[in-house]
Amino acid sequence: MQSGFYSATGGMISQFHKLDTTTNNLANLNTSGFKRDEMIFGDYLRLAKETHDELPLENQTVDGAKFFNRATVRVPQIVDRYSDFSVGTMKQTYNPLDLALVDKELFFAVATPEGNRLTRNGSFTTDRDGFLVTQEGFKVLDKSLKPISIDLTAEIQFDKNGIFLNGGKSGELMIVRPENLRTLTKEGSGLFSIANENEIINYENSLAVEQGYVETSNVNAVREMAGLIEANRMVSMYQKVMDTQMNDLNRDAIEKLASSRG
């Protein structure tokens, strides 16, 4: 198989992944607190140079040369994926249960069937038992990692540190600041799991909570549409390269077959 065909195939697969990521970003354009995803592309040659000491065989050996297959040195590959945690636009709702965080490194804590998780989506409501919950029904946690009970017949006020007054009782939201945002993993429904749950501790004096606001997604529709068009064009380009390579292979095969019969 010609190396050009292999490289084009790898490039097309990479662009398919980019299309999936971009369309997911666009699908969550209006999802409160959503953080867009991005990819970084590289090639096998750069990856091999960066991890030379980790290769199982030395390059100067015959077996090492086979491992370092020259047919794959320029195949585009996804070398990294990450979430952009930049803060989205603050949208005023006047709903006292809507909360937004103005610091990109801070999160609310919620309880799920799989364990405690983090979220940036502060569009909260109450369930039938009077607990503060997300739109998906996950209970919002206070600084002691316990569900928060709300009396809807009384006024509720949150200050910038997440301390609230509701009728005759008070409490404080669990505001979490992970040591490294790259350790967070998206799980859907605006939730993030954290590698070390011991980091789910209250961050004091955050000065980041805004009551009556929700944070919109940080997806830029124009930018994502431009990326979608670019990825589609790249897929088309790789398709043309593959067609050309295949036509060349077929022509060579026909010519060799004809000459052998002659």
Q: What is the pTM of this model?
A: 0.76
Q: By C-alpha distance, which of 244, 241, 229 is closest to 15?
A: 229
pLDDT in tens, 220-229: 999 999 989 9
CA distance 34 to 223: 16
Spatial contact of 75 and 84, defined as CB atoms under 8 Å apart: no
The two three-digit tokens of residue 225, written as one number: 């549409």
Q: Residue 251: what pLDDT?
A: 74
Mean pLDDT across the chain, nearest whole number? 84
CA–CA distance, 137 with 183 (Å, rounded to integer): 25
Please report where in the chains the tokens 């065989």 appear, as a residue.
Answer: 57
Percent of the chain with pLDDT over 70: 80
From residue 199, alpha-carbon distances to 62, 102, 229 in Å are: 49, 20, 40
**What is the Cα Rg of the chain in Å?**
26
* pLDDT band, very low/low/confident/very high, at 71 (cuts 50, 70, 90): very low
Highest mean pLDDT range out of 127-136, 230-239, 244-253?
127-136
* Cα(1)–Cα(240) distance, integer angstroms: 17
- The torsion region of residue 205 among left (phi > 0), alpha (psi -120 to 50) and beta comes to left
67 — pLDDT class (breaks 50, 70, 90): very low
pLDDT at 146: 96
pLDDT value at position 195? 87
Nearest to 159 by CA among 117, 208, 116: 208
Whole-number Å distance between alpha carbons of 3 and 15: 18
